Amino acid sequence: MERLKNKIAVITGASSGIGAGIADLFSSEGADIVVNYLTSKQNAEIVVEKNKSQGRRVIAVQADMSDKNAINHLIQNTLEEFGRIDIWVNNAGADILTGKGENATTYEKLEQLIQTDLKGTIDACWSVSETMKDQGHGVIVNMGWDLSIHGFSGINPQIFAATKSAVLGFTRAFAKTVGPEIRVNMVAPGWIITAFAEENMEKPFYQDRLKEIPLGRFGIPRDIAEAVVFLASDESSYLAGESININGGLI
């Protein structure tokens, strides 16, 4: 089934993890895609080549999603290559758990989250919506966090929840602003197995989290990708301003 046949989709932060999973499923569902990345050009090219092998048109474009000018550059590159943008997925997020982010102060982490996850999402929505309005159609899917609603203890969860709660509020307000031409929704992942989680899976913290999930397993990027495809496709044509928790029933 090709639910996204001949659609043009931009996926930010798509060189690995959830973003790469979304790119893979979009391609198999018939979309031509732009794989956005920040620093991992090699990983982005792997995603590109993998999905080109399915007969899709795929390009990689570097852009820092905390930089409004870079966002506009990404939009312009896409329009020059494909002529339109049907779907935009705001998946890129600040990494506050590994590398330089791991050693940053709490306020530095908060600033990174605000600049990329919140302001980057808002800037991208504002900018790409102008193109979509001119086209007369478009779909935007933002990325949240299920525990921004339910809460979770710790300093990193506090600042992450605050940022993603703001994204949810923006998503709902923006959906009311840009309809009916543009549909805007959000997915809110729970505990998903990415490279960072895989390295720490046997630690007591993760084993305790596993026990809390009614479906008895952690999620995988494909679980998130399926929800994003649903929101991007005509199957959700009467859905706007909503957030879908993808967390195995955790409440």
Q: What is the pTM of this model?
A: 0.95
Domain 8-244 grouped into CATH 3.40.50.720: yes
Outline where the chain has alpha helix (H). 17-28, 41-52, 68-82, 99-102, 106-113, 121-135, 147-150, 155-178, 195-200, 204-212, 221-232
Contacts of 166 (CB under 8 A, 6+ apart): 118
Give the Cα separation of 19 and 25 in Å (integer).
10
Domain segments of the chain: what residues? 8-244
Whether pLDDT at 100 is above 70:
no
29, 23 contact by CB (below 8 A): no
Give the Cα separation of 98 and 140 in Å (integer).
28
Share of residues in the chain with pLDDT > 70 (%): 98
| 69 CB-side CA count, 13 A | 0
185-213 pLDDT tens trace: 999 999 999 876 777 778 888 899 999 99
Give the Cα separation of 67 and 230 in Å (integer).
29
Per-residue confidence at 87, pLDDT binned at 50, 70, 90? very high
- Weakest mean pLDDT among 73-77, 115-119, 152-156, 172-176: 152-156
Per-residue confidence at 36, pLDDT binned at 50, 70, 90? very high
Closest listed residue to residue 163, CA positions, set 37, 66, 235? 66
138-173 pLDDT tens trace: 999 999 998 888 888 899 899 999 999 999 999 999
Whether pLDDT at 99 is above 70:
no
